[in-house]
Amino acid sequence: MEAVDQEVGDVVFATDAVAPDGRFTWDHDFWDGVDYELRVTAIPGNSGLTFAAVSTSANLVVQPMSPPLGPKFLAMGYLLLAFLAGMATTLILTRRRWREALRPALRPRLEPQAL
């Protein structure tokens, strides 16, 4: 059995299974919104009936699933925290560099004193 992504033609899942009673059961949740072609090939085993290999395929149309609202807000919070930490670090480093660059200009001038 194999699942083929119809957008790019790549095999995204493939498996071989031995079904002693002749029935193959597979449970998988597709949620990404990509259409798939499922291909199943039955071949005779070592014992039992002898028959030519049988192949079939089915097209599977998948509706995309949106994650729940809680994980979306949690992920947005992590990204916002990383963004704000980067901005704060940039601001601190930039202020230090400017302060060091302007230090000679910020020193008060000492007037020569008369003796």
pLDDT digits (tens, 9 = 90+) for 5-32: 999 999 998 988 877 777 778 787 777 8
Residue with tokens 């499922």: 38
Identify the pLDDT of residue 104. Answer: 64
Give the type of residue at 22: G
Quick one: average pLDDT of 77-94?
Answer: 95
Radius of gyration of the chain (CA): 33
Positions of E strands within the chain: 2-5, 11-14, 36-42, 54-60
Identify the pLDDT of residue 109. Answer: 63
Identify the pLDDT of residue 20. Answer: 74
Distance CA 13, CA 60 (A): 14
Distance CA 5, CA 60 (A): 10
